[in-house]
Amino acid sequence: MKDNVIKLKRPELRRYLVPINTASTQQLFADCLVIGTGVAGLRAAIEAAGSGCEVIIVCKKNLQDSNTWNAQGGIASVLGRNDSFASHIEDTLKTGCGICDRQTVEQVVKDGPGLVKELLDWGTEFDKSQDGSISITLEGGHSFARVAHALGDSTGKAIVQALIHKVKNTANITVVENFYAIDIITNDDGVCIGTIGQNARGVMEIIWGKTTILATGGAGRVYRETTNPDVATADGLAMAARAGAVLRDMEFMQFHPTTLYIAGASRALITETLRGEGAILRDVNGDAFMAGYHKDAELAPRDIVSRAILAQMLKTNSTHVFLDIRHFDKVFFSKRFPLISELVASFDIDVSKDLIPVRPSAHYMVGGVKTDRLAHTNIKNLFACGEVASTCLHGANRLGSNSLLEGLVFGRIAGREAFKQSGKPNSDMGLRKFRYDIPQSDRSRLDTADVLNSLRSLMWRNVGIIRFAKPLAETQEIISFWQRYVLDKIFDSDQGWECQNMLTVCLMMAKAAETRTESRGTHFRDDFPQTDDAKFKAHIEFE
Ligand code: SIN
């Protein structure tokens, strides 16, 4: 370990997933290319364009398909009268279990109120208290109510709508939907010069960027159980790794304690702010169990609540536990949580009489592409922000509702830095013509849909909430086997590329989890339940 870093070798990877021939590929040009339209990407695009860049922002599906859009609880910021920056900073550091970067935490927390105010000015409909101030609530790990919410439990949607409105009213931003960014392109000097992807017409297209901002979001879909939308398939992490970016803290996947559990229905987040407003966790026997696990009971940190739920499921031999909000005022509930209200009603759950079945699922990739405090990656002209980035704000565990805030802060920084870089006279991209060929594979072709299903189950079983050495090692063997038959192929559609990306990233997640023989934050090793500061108060990096 050097400088609190444990270095692992990045797996050997084919440089690009698809053959490239610039002579026969259609091309677009931007000063600043942004990949991803969650809060970080949109905020980055606005900043870069506001500074004078011609910006192209692309997303894999539609503007609504992001983790941000689905965010329910809210955005954490110091807005309450008794609250303080010092308290928000301490809560973030404590939840991060010793490996946050204090300077980053301080910057993010202090920028919070101004950026929330800016969102308000741009039209985000934050819910208000009777005195007209922004209404705030509690979440686990927060010492004060500081989670601002909008449209009840549709905070992400309200924020994205305001940012999209701003983007669409900014002349020098072009939005391209249904563009699957397959790879980041680098020149012979390893400098990032844009992306190759498939556009909405199914045609390969290169977008050259003097600078590129990666804001592709997370990787929840690598797990069978997840709160994440279909698009969260680790694409940005994998393409960054192929381009030579350093990936950090990949063992830290945050599991959200409460996902609606109805067999056969797709999993849906049940926001933590429901517990912030007084919801109680009960097991199948009706017993409230959280006080037996932590002094903060329902509002303990997420990793503790998730493990407590699993333990209680095991004890009671059940597939789930329940959230009890029978004591809530019906009108308050439907006004404060309209989305969940509609969701549970669609399954005929009457919350005044019935309990809501829930269990934990994969929620947020804490690790990601390593950046410095100015959103620079180790690849020149490539920046990263939002969930795909590892800024060291979260350390080993993310404090609830800190991610929308991080997206705003680092989106703004990335946009500003990209502008500075795009404006430099020597920032010519240096390469506009090249060819990359891939030989045809003669190995058997696996059924990618089948591999994906098996991979998600494998990750859930072996790289999930509770981990052991042997299954982690086996996981790597199984993934390596699949990789031999999948990574050597050339695909021409999303499912194949997603499968390649997920296999690439999952191997690193399992390897990092095997390497960290201790428990810290979201990473819990049943065979090493203690935190080992002497060996592991450190980051694991693939380079
Ligand atoms: C939630 O609403 O519980 C999720 C918020 C978050 O993950 O920050």
pLDDT at 425: 47
What's the CA-to-centroid distance between 99 and ligand 1, angstroms? 21
Per-residue confidence (pLDDT) for residue 159, from 0 to 100:
97
* From 302, 307, 416, 525, active-site residue: 302
Q: Which residues line ligand 1 (CB under 6 A)?
A: 71-73, 271-273, 364, 400-401, 403
- Domain spans of the chain, in order of start: 256-361, 440-542
Cβ burial, residue 426 (10 Å; 0-12/13-18/19+): exposed
For residue 429, the 8-state DSSP code is -
Phi-psi region of 194 (alpha: psi -120 to 50; beta: other; left: phi over 0): left
pLDDT in tens, 269-306: 999 999 999 999 999 999 999 999 999 999 999 999 99
Active site residue 302: yes
What is the distance in A from the centroid of ligand 1 to the CA of 6?
A: 30
Architecture of domain 256-361: Alpha-Beta Complex (3.90)
Task: Report, in angstroms and rounded to the nearest whole number, the Rg of the chain calculated over CA atoms.
Answer: 22
Q: What is the 3-state secondary structure (H, E, C) of 142-171?
A: CCCCCEECECCCCHHHHHHHHHHHHHHCCC
Question: Which atom of ligand 1 lies at the shortest distance from residue 270's CA?
Answer: 3
Ligand 1 centre distance from Cα of residue 156 (Å): 10
Among protein residues, the one with the nearest Cα to ligand 1's atom 8 is 401
Query: Which of 242, 273, 528 has the alpha carbon at shortest distance from 404?
Result: 273
Q: Which CATH class is domain 440-542?
A: mainly alpha
Give per-10-residue mean pLDDT for the chain (543 aa): 83 97 94 97 97 96 92 95 97 97 98 98 96 95 96 96 96 96 95 96 96 97 96 98 98 97 88 95 98 96 95 97 97 95 95 97 98 98 98 97 98 97 62 86 95 98 98 98 97 97 98 98 98 97 97
Q: How confident is the model at residue 1, as a pLDDT?
A: 46
pLDDT at 180: 98
In terms of Cα–Cα distance, which of 181, 211, 219, 185 is closest to 197? 181
